[in-house]
Amino acid sequence: MISRYSNRLRLARIALFGAAVLLCATGYLDARDDWTVLENCRFISNPADDGDSFHVSAGAKEYIFRLYLADAPETDEMNPVRIAEQAKYFAISAPQVIEVGQAAKEFTREKLSQPFTVLTRWKGAMGRSKMERFYAFVRTKDGDLSEQLVRNGLARNYGFRAAPPESKNARVEVEKLQQFEAQAKQEKIGAWGINAGRLNVRAPSTVVFAVFTAGEKPRPGSTPAIYSSASASATPTPMSSAGEAKKSHAKEKTPLGKIDINTATEKELTTVPGIGHVTAARIIAARPFHSADDLKRVSGIGDKKYMLIRPYFQ
Q: So what's the pLDDT on residue 11? A: 57
By the 8 A CB rule, do 165 and 217 touch? no
Which CATH number is 36-238's, of 1.10.540.10, 2.30.130.10, 2.40.50.90, 3.90.870.10?
Answer: 2.40.50.90
Separation between Cα atoms, residue 169 and residue 33, nearest integer Å: 16
Architecture of the domain made up of 241-312: Orthogonal Bundle (1.10)
Low-confidence ranges of the chain (pLDDT < 70): 1-33, 127-129, 205-255
Q: How far is CA 33 from the centre of its chain?
A: 17
Query: What phi and psi values does residue 134 have, to the nearest 5 degrees?
Result: -125, 145
Stretch (H or E) spanning 227: strand 225-228
Q: Which of 115, 138, 133 is nearest to 35 (CA)?
A: 138
Separation between Cα atoms, residue 71 and residue 205, nearest integer Å: 19
Give residue limits of the domains in the chain. 1-31, 36-238, 241-312
Q: So what's the pLDDT on residue 20? A: 44
Separation between Cα atoms, residue 161 and residue 173, nearest integer Å: 9
Q: So what's the pLDDT on residue 125? A: 86
pTM of the model: 0.58
What b/e readout covers 103-131, taking b as 16+ CB neighbours within 10 angstroms? bbbebbeebbeeebbbbbbebebeeeeee
By the 8 A CB rule, do 66 and 125 touch? yes
Report CA-CA distances (Å) from 112 to 75, 144, 165, 206, 253: 18, 11, 21, 18, 37
Q: So what's the pLDDT on residue 276? A: 84
Q: So what's the pLDDT on residue 126? A: 77
